[in-house]
Structure 1
Amino acid sequence: MKKNQFLSLIFIVLILSGCTAKTRYSFDDETFHFDISTEPPSLDWNTISDTTSSNIVDNIMDGLTAYNFTKSEVGITPALAESWTISPDGKVYTFKIRKGVKWTDGAELKAKHFADGWKRLVDPKTASPYATYLSFVKNGREISAGKKPVDSMGVEAIDDYTFRVTLENVTPYFLFATTHGATYPIRLDVVEKFGDKWTDAKNIVTLGPFKLKEWNHDKNIILERNDTYWGEKPKIKTMVAQMVLETSTALSLFESGQLDHIQTIPNFELERVKKDPKLLQSLKTGPNFSNVYFGFNTRKPPFNDPNVRKAFASSIDRVSVLKAIRRDFTPLLSWIPTGMLGYNSNIGLKFNPSNAKEYLRAAGYIEKNGKWISKESGKEFPKIRLAITPNESAKILVENLQTQWRNNIGIEPELYFEEWKVYLRTLELDPPEIFYMGWVADYPDPDTFMQIFRSYSSDNRTGWKSAEYDRLVTEAGTTLDNGKRVSLYNSAQRLLAEEANPFIPLYTSTQNYLMKPFVKGFIVNPMRQWRYSGIYLERGSYKD
């Protein structure tokens, strides 16, 4: 035990030395140290699709609106738009942009910067994973598909301080959608001047509560207070975002006082945290609109056959999965998460190994000498790959699934690991037969979950397409009647999770993270938005 602790201490010192190779930052009431786990793939808010990148972007930028987490339900509050009006038919929103808001280079925010950002997002030339996010805007979907010109999009800068948006249909969640980073304004002059380097610390221009000071790749990101910020200025001056890949190492750094906050607790450590009086003071919990799933590449054999997909889905015991990762999350058979309109625990394929084998037989396979053989070709069931990122939680999870599939249907996928940035690129270009992924709500509405499996969604890595599913989800997302919406979402979820099964939903998570007791002012929120502009530190009030 002492030897392991000594080695861990050496490792922590090495980690810190590497993370602070360029600059050292003190531990005072103006400096906040936290972990973001890995290198952000990008800080270009028109092209990011991951939570690590959003973690940084949400602290250096603002949108038209912002979340209000002070009430029991998530609300909306004005941000860069000081007000807005809605047309009688509910399809035209006119936003009044705040005057006097400055970018970090001193230029004033204009309505044009929103129009530029939204058009750049849907432009096929940008190749954004979020290109279809604005499909509810007039012509947005057709533009992202290359069927209409970018300038036909239903956005317009009427004047310097008036931004108008025309929607295809009534969209009940539209204002919530304008909180998302994909809708932030952008400076095309900066993008065009610096090209791919525009997000470098020396080039990037932002307008949020913090600004990017340093980006020490694979080590840390340094943010400093934006003293020209239009809103309430942050109380802290500097944020040091460390990139610590292993959650166990991050926890050690937290316990040794080198981190003030970690967003993930290692699977096997949560029980210890709950029993440790000191750590328990730092434990924060709360609801989380976030699901974990495994997707199938339905373009590749054997998962181009829905019966094979059903076989794999039916041979998973989610209770066993949650025991393996030591979490009290909610098992999920359908797709809309717990606590959200449309959640239905009665939809989806339940754990039934006997049914799983029947699905394999229906797909044309027979059992012979402990192996599945194609009746048509006489060949063995093909080898399949299961791709994941190299983090501890994912590894424990997939090893459990690998064992379950081997024991329940006699098939064992081959595991392979890819670094986060490479992994996202692989999913974009050529997804493996099975892949691990999670989805955190972009806005507090079931559409944010259901839309990712639309035929035209840039987030749909499964390759599965269904005109009927598209119709159901579109209709549900364009009506104000919640009862009708639930009925439509039920039908869509049955198609998704009982008939076609392009994925295996596993669970809806809850939040468990650590934040030192001297960190004040942060609000736990179901959107898992890590925005730190409202926090303040009282290190002197806390004795370790």
Structure 2
Amino acid sequence: MKNTHKLLLGAALLTLSGTLAACGSGEANSDSNHNKVTLMQNTELLSLDNSSVADFTQWNTLENSMEGLYRQDKNNKLAPAMATKVVQPTNNGKTYTFHLRKNAKWSNGDDVTAQDFVKSWQRSVSDKSTSGYNYIFSGVKNADKISAGKADETALGVTAVDKHTLRVDLDHAMPYFNKMMILPAFFPQNTAAVKKYGSKYGTTSAKMVYNGPFKVTGWTGSNNSWKFLRNKHYYNQKAIHLKEIDMKVVQDPNTAHNMFTKGQLDDAQITGVTAQGLQTNKNLRHVTKAGTYYTRLNVAKNKTLSNKKLRRALNLVLDRKALTKKVLADGSEPAYTFVAKGLSTDPTTGKDFAEENQPAETHNVKKAKKLWAEGLKETGKSSVTLSLLGNQDTATKNVNQYIQSTVEENLDGAKVNVESLPKKALSSDVESGKFDMETLFWLADFGDPSNFLSINQSTNPQNYGSYNSKAFDTALTNAAKKDATNTKAYWADMRKAQQVMNSEVPLVPLYSMTESHLVNPKLKGVEYHPVGENDYTRAYLK
């Protein structure tokens, strides 16, 4: 049965690839009045409250309906948004003073105030926050104590000096702090709305107000479609061309392709077999993202994969080139480090950080077999059954099937049970540790290796694999504190942390994130950022 599974997957790929190649020449139809486009997300929207949820669909939605202190421009550079300019820190890099636009308004006409940022950050850093993203505030004065429940959220080093002046005090210098301000985690929240709606804030589109170019309407909290309508109070009306963006959740890439062909989508993201068959389509656009697809390993003490040799075997048995060329075939490239290629250049070496830290050995089935046998002996077992979780999108299913067949075929005594779960069930199982492996991706929020590496620190709330390495933690702590203003030492710490991960394998990098989009040729002005979310707010139809 080991070979049967692999053969069925290969046959499905060949059959569907040929079918899609024959029907992939359609072109989307633009809206007749050129004021509306229709887009998609591939997972459901769970919340609009950035203090309660932080995931890809939510952040994409907030990217197009909210703004923070800065935004990214078309050249991927920081540009003023709610702040009047990109500021430089004082107090040896530990104090940032932001002056807010006096013409910045919420969609209900309220002024955007410094207190709106204070309230948002306090809610998000709190130990009561359920977003799993309170760690991102680490470095802001008292943030770590607050997240650990050892201080009240009002102790956070963020102050409304006056209505339009926001001061942020840090525990230590953070050379990438300005870059972080584009993250939805740092977006403001309308103070009056938070008070009015309480625990219901952000649970529907009506229980929110928005300070970006568009406001969300029509989302009830459970439906799979919503609209962005023009926010008449947005400060920069000249930059906005569309009156409406319709959003639909489309989980199946073949459905997305068919909808694009029928003119029902202006930008359809496709993956897996669907993308394979459309690589020569005239409307295909590859969007390279600083993101990594990987398999998280549960290394908790009571779990099978607490054994390092078993983890190393899983890492070496997988052929990333075969995965990207034969299973995905969508323009994706192999990944050998968790930190994504193209994220950042090490200024002390002039090299891409991921490339300079790539392990010397990336695929060796013979060695994987040896390590696996040794690992089983150390655990006192002759066989193991591993649960491999993932979401329900087609690409993840295909990748997990490839992992399953490769592991079972090459590692004696290994059985892998694949489960494809709805988002809520998947999150519940992962957060409670009910898994051995989980395939997912991490997309860069800002252009620094710490953005990837920090989620694997032992104290990070998103460290669901329970990785705990003193050497790894020490390297990142040194980078964040004593070496923060020493460029040479900082990057040495970053390299050390990645190299420790290479050796200890708390996760298995799989492939780089390359999005395949079928794009209406009349759709212009979309800002496809390699770091962060795609920005459709400046889009137009021509």
1:250 maps to 256
Please point out which of 523, 528, 532 is paired with 2:527: 523
Aligned residues with identical type, % of pairs: 26
Count matched residues.
497
Cα separation, 2, equivalents of 1:26 and 1:76: 32
Offset at residue 482 of structure 1 (A): 4.5
* Residue in structure 2 matched with residue 471 of structure 1 by the alignment: 474
Local SS of the residue matching 1:426: helix
Aligned-partner Cα distance in 1 for 2:493–2:231: 45
**Alignment-derived partner of residue 347 in structure 1:** 359
Of residues 444, 457, 460, the one that matches 1:441 is 444
1:397 deviates by 0.8
2:144 pairs, out of 123, 141, 144, with 141
Deviations 1:419-477 (A, max 9, x none): 12332233223341100110000111111111111111122111111232122123334
Change in CA separation of 1:510 and 1:244 when aligned onto 2, cut-off 3 Å: closer
Corresponding letter in the other structure for 1:46: S
Q: 1:306-344: per-residue Cα shift (whole Å, max 9, x none)?
A: 222112112111112112111343322222211223223
- The one-letter code of the counterpart of 1:288 is K
Aligned partner of residue 107 in structure 1, secondary structure? coil
> 1:298 maps to which residue?
299
Distance 1:43 1:409, change over 3 A: same
Q: Cα distance, 1:46 vs. partner?
A: 2.0
The AA in structure 2 aligned to 1:394 is T
- Corresponding residue number in structure 2 for 1:537: 541
The equivalent of 1:456 in structure 2 is 459
Distance 1:435 1:253, change over 3 A: same
Q: 2:95 aligns with which of 92, 95, 108?
A: 92
1:5-84 to structure 2, matched below 5 A, reads: 28-70=33-75, 74-83=76-85, 84=87
Task: Work out whether residues 40 and 421 of structure 1, in 8 Å CA contact, stay in contact via their aligned partners in 2.
Answer: no
* 8 Å Cα contact 1:293-1:437 kept in structure 2: yes
Aligned partner (choices 498, 504, 509) of residue 513 of structure 2: 509
Equivalent residue letter for 1:365:
K
Distance in 1, Cα, partners of 2:92 & 2:267:
46
Which residue does 2:310 correspond to in 1?
Answer: 308
In structure 2, relative to structure 1, the CA distance for the partners of 1:102 and 1:417 (3 Å cut) is same
Q: Deviations over 1:159-206 (max 9, x none)?
A: 111111111221111001011000011124322322343222222111
Q: Which residue does the alignment assign to 1:358?
A: 370
Q: Which runs of 4+ in 1 moved over 3 A?
A: 25-28, 269-272, 480-486
Give 1:382 deviation, angstroms. Answer: 3.2
Match for 2:243: what amino acid? K
TM-score normalized by the length of structure 2 = 0.87
Contact 1:403 1:412 survives alignment (8 Å): no
Shift of 1:260: 0.7
Provide Cα deviations, 1:498-540, integer angstroms capped at 9, x if missing partner: 1x211101122223212101111113321252221111113xx
* CA gap 1:395/1:135 in 2 versus in 1, 3 angstroms: same
1:150 maps to which of 148, 153, 159: 153
Deviation at 1:53, TM superposition (A): 1.1
Distance 2:477 2:73 in 1: 27
Amino acid at match of 1:353: V
Matched, 1:207 2:208: no
Pick which of 418-427 and 310-319 moved more.
418-427
Q: Report deviation, 1:292.
A: 0.6
Aligned residue for 1:435, secondary structure, equals strand
CA shift in 2, pair 1:275/1:285, >3 Å: closer
Q: Deviations over 1:78-136 (max 9, x none)?
A: 11011335214011001111113221222211111111111111111223210101102
Unaligned runs of 5+ in 2: 1-15, 21-29, 346-352
Deviation at 1:249, TM superposition (A): 0.2
CA distance in structure 2 between the partners assigned to 1:414 and 1:349 by the alignment = 27
Q: Which residue of 2 aligns with 1:369?
A: none
Aligned-partner Cα distance in 2 for 1:268–1:417: 17
Instruction: Say whether the 8 Å CA contact 1:219–1:243 is kept in structure 2.
Output: yes
Q: Cα 1:141–1:431, aligned 2, differ >3 Å: closer, same or farther?
A: farther
Trace 1:319-338 onto structure 2 (pairs within 5 A).
Answer: 319-322=321-324, 323-338=326-341
How does the TM-score come out when normalised to structure 1?
0.87
Distance 1:141 1:153 in 2: 9
Unaligned residue ranges in structure 1 (runs of 5+)? 9-24, 367-373, 539-544
